[in-house]
């Protein structure tokens, strides 16, 4: 008879309560619901790169799980976001989709996937939805035409203005944007045009707090800040930054809510120490020996 090893896939055997279709639908955060939330409550967005990070964010009750192209630095060991491909985004989005059961799962359109033509932008947004399981996509920059076309294809769009890391070379580095009056006014106009194009949320990255407040007042869609001060309708942080998993100095706006890097390192060092000292595995971590097996083995070994 085959012996059960007790080894199982994470979460296997945990049965979710059965819901009727309408109950299940009511639990899922939707793009129209988030758009309508402006002025009623602050929205919470967190990035995720795989099933565990998306599941934990979802269980913590965040509104939006974003598979950001920052996965390049957070999970792939790359220096910037520019080399992330659409296939890599789809791969990670699909993994995160398995964890984000209630929160709205959004995916970044990576560099090069929407710049060449509007038709390509629509095609690639649809791939993130169809193959990755994203329920919205995010595009960097004042891309009103692409936004309108993707929305017309049935995919909710999140805009992203201010510091747009995919344009790092044009911007001359990761600098705070909208610092002079002209640039600030331009950004307000770009925000309005993204709203007119049908974006349902707007991420504002690394801009002065009064400009973020002005944009937030100027548009009817919620703004989500990252390094944009307290007046936005919501905030987003990168999972690895928030939890102390990043290896690089954190930007000014990051607040660390955990030191998981240290927790994980300490746990792994304790495991290594136990293995090397013969403390792991203990008898209770070892399968019981069938009667007679140990002595039969010993006899056989003696005879050899």
Query: Binding to ligand KIV by residue 47, rule CB under 6 A?
Result: yes
In whole angstroms, how close is the CB of 60 to ligand KIV at the nearest point?
Answer: 16
Radius of gyration of the chain measured on its C-alpha atoms = 24
Query: Binding to ligand KIV by residue 69, rule CB under 6 A?
Result: yes
51 in active site: no
Query: Binding to ligand KIV by residue 73, rule CB under 6 A?
Result: no
SS (H, E, C) 215-263: HHHHCCCCEEEECCCCCCCEEEECHHHHCCCCCCCCCCCCCCCCCHHHH
Catalytic residue among 51, 146, 195, 205: 205
Token pair listed for 131: 């193959």
Of 29-37, 67-75, 96-104, 248-256, which segment contacts ligand KIV by CB under 6 A? 67-75
Query: Binding to ligand KIV by residue 63, rule CB under 6 A?
Result: no
Q: Which residue's entry shows tokens 């910037």?
A: 80
Of 52-60, 66-74, 85-93, 208-216, which segment contacts ligand KIV by CB under 6 A? 66-74
Query: Binding to ligand KIV by residue 46, rule CB under 6 A?
Result: no
- Please, are residues 105 and 62 in contact by the beta-carbon 8 Å criterion? no
- Burial string for 277-297 (b: 16+ CB within 10 Å, else e) reads eeeeeeeeeeeeeeeeeeeee
d(CA 228, CA 216): 11
Query: Binding to ligand KIV by residue 205, rule CB under 6 A?
Result: yes
Kindly list the residues in this chain that would bind ligand KIV in the complex (CB under 6 A).
Answer: 47, 66, 68-70, 108, 203, 205, 226, 236, 238
Catalytic positions are: 205
């Amino acid at each position: 008879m085959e012996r059960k090893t007790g080894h199982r896939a994470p979460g296997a055997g945990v049965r979710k309560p059965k819901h009727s279709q309408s109950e299940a639908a009511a639990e899922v955060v939707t793009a129209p619901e988030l758009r309508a939330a402006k002025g009623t409550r602050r929205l919470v967005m967190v990035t995720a790169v795989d099933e565990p990070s998306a599941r934990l964010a979802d269980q913590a009750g965040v509104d939006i799980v974003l598979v950001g192209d920052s996965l390049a630095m957070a999970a792939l060991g790359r220096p910037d976001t520019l080399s992330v491909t659409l296939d890599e985004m789809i791969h990670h989005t699909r993994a995160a989709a398995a964890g984000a059961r209630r929160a709205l799962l959004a995916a970044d359109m990576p560099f090069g996937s929407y710049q060449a033509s509007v038709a390509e932008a629509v095609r690639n947004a649809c791939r993130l939805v169809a193959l990755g399981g994203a329920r919205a996509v995010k595009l960097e920059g004042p891309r009103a035409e692409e936004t309108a076309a993707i929305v017309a294809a049935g995919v909710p769009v999140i805009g992203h203005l201010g510091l747009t890391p995919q344009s790092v070379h044009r911007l001359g580095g990761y600098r705070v944007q909208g610092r002079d009056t002209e640039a600030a006014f331009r950004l307000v106009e770009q925000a309005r045009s993204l709203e007119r194009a049908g974006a349902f949320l707007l991420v504002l990255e690394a801009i002065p707090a009064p400009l973020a407040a002005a944009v937030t007042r100027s548009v009817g869609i919620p703004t989500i800040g990252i390094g944009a001060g307290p007046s936005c309708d919501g905030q987003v942080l990168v999972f690895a930054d928030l939890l102390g998993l990043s290896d690089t100095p954190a930007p000014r706006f990051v607040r660390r809510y955990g030191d998981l890097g240290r927790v994980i390192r300490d746990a792994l060092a304790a495991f290594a120490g136990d293995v090397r000292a013969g403390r792991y595995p203990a008898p209770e971590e070892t399968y019981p020996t069938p009667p007679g097996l140990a002595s039969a083995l010993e006899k056989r070994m003696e005879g050899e």
